Amino acid sequence: MQSKFTSLCANALGLRMNRRKDCPAGKRNTHPFYAWHSQCSPLIQWIFTVCLGLKDDGRTTYDKINADWILEAPREFKISFLQGLADSDGFVDFSAQQAAVITHPNTDLIEKIFISLEVKTRRWLITQTGLWCLVMGIKDAYNLPLFNPYVKCYRYEKVIKLFNAKRLSGHTPEWLSRKVNEYIKSGLSGTKLVEKIIDEYGIAIRTKNILRRKRKMEREKWLTCLGIESTAL
């Protein structure tokens, strides 16, 4: 969907652009990725070298852009810029009930843009990839919005789903506890279990509660195998 929207924007400017065969995984990119081609245009060259401040052989994936002028741009432009980044490199964490966008190698600039929009973020290093990202609460991701409401990618739908989910206070209802236990026994855990509960009941639960419940079930199973009743301890 994102590639179609990008092509549509280029076409609206009078530029030919269409999606091609996805690029395979490589040494630096460990996953396949979208690819689309456009006609040569002085406009694209101007955006690349002047607006982004990159050299002709630069790559936005690896090279830092020089675009501090965005900090002085109108609010709507800043949000659109962030949405273009997030629709490609963002994600929603159901477990922690937050959203994030991978900002490497432009974390400093992107952080300043969020600050100028009065959106609180924190840095987080993805240890598996060594890439930095900026994380925010789901309410901020919804209100901004972080993902483009016209494109409506699956990440946008996840933010809507998580934001509108009901939060329970106090003890978890017995019927919900039984359902969570049932899903844990079936092999579901973490994010998948949280998302399933939201899909079926519109209720958001914390992963830490699932982990606590899972440990309790494992402990009770271990005690049963030893012939010891948990209430006896």
Query: Last residue of some domain: 134, 164, 194?
Result: 164
Asked whether residue 9 is assigned to any structural domain, the reply reads: no
Buried b (16+ CB within 10 A) or exposed e, 48-75: beeebebeeebeeeeebbebeebeeeee
Q: Are residues 66 and 155 in the same domain?
A: yes
Domain that holds residue 94: 60-164
Residue 127 lies in a domain: yes
Give the predicted TM-score (pTM) of the model.
Answer: 0.81
User: In this predicted structure, what is the pLDDT of residue 3?
Assistant: 63
**Helix, strand, or coil (residue 121):** coil
25 class by beta-carbon count within 10 Å (0-12 exposed, 13-18 middle, 19+ buried): exposed
Number of H helices, E strands in the chain: 9, 8
In this prediction, residue 23 carries a pLDDT of: 81
Same domain, 185 and 157: no
Residue 145 confidence (pLDDT): 97
C-beta separation of 158 from 100 below 8 A: no
Total domains present in the chain:
2
Q: What is the pLDDT of residue 1?
A: 57
To which residue do tokens 């519109």 refer?
202
Structural domain includes residue 139: yes
Last residue of a domain, one of 147, 164, 181: 164
Are 160 and 91 in a shared domain?
yes
Q: Does 155 map to a domain?
A: yes
Domain of 87, CATH number, reads 3.10.28.10
Domain boundary, last residue among 164, 187, 219: 164
Q: Is residue 145 located within the same domain as residue 213?
A: no
Q: Over its length of 233 residues, how does the chain's per-residue pLDDT go in tens digits?
A: 566 777 787 888 888 887 778 888 877 677 777 777 777 788 888 989 999 999 988 888 889 999 999 999 999 999 999 999 999 899 999 888 899 999 999 999 999 999 999 999 999 999 888 899 999 999 999 999 999 998 888 999 999 999 999 988 878 888 998 898 888 888 887 788 889 999 999 999 887 778 777 777 777 777 677 666 555 44
Q: Are residues 104 and 120 in the same domain?
A: yes
Residue 6 domain-assigned (yes or no) = no
Same domain, 159 and 203: no
Token pair of 114 as six digits: 């969020």
Alpha-carbon span 68 to 151, nearest angstrom = 26
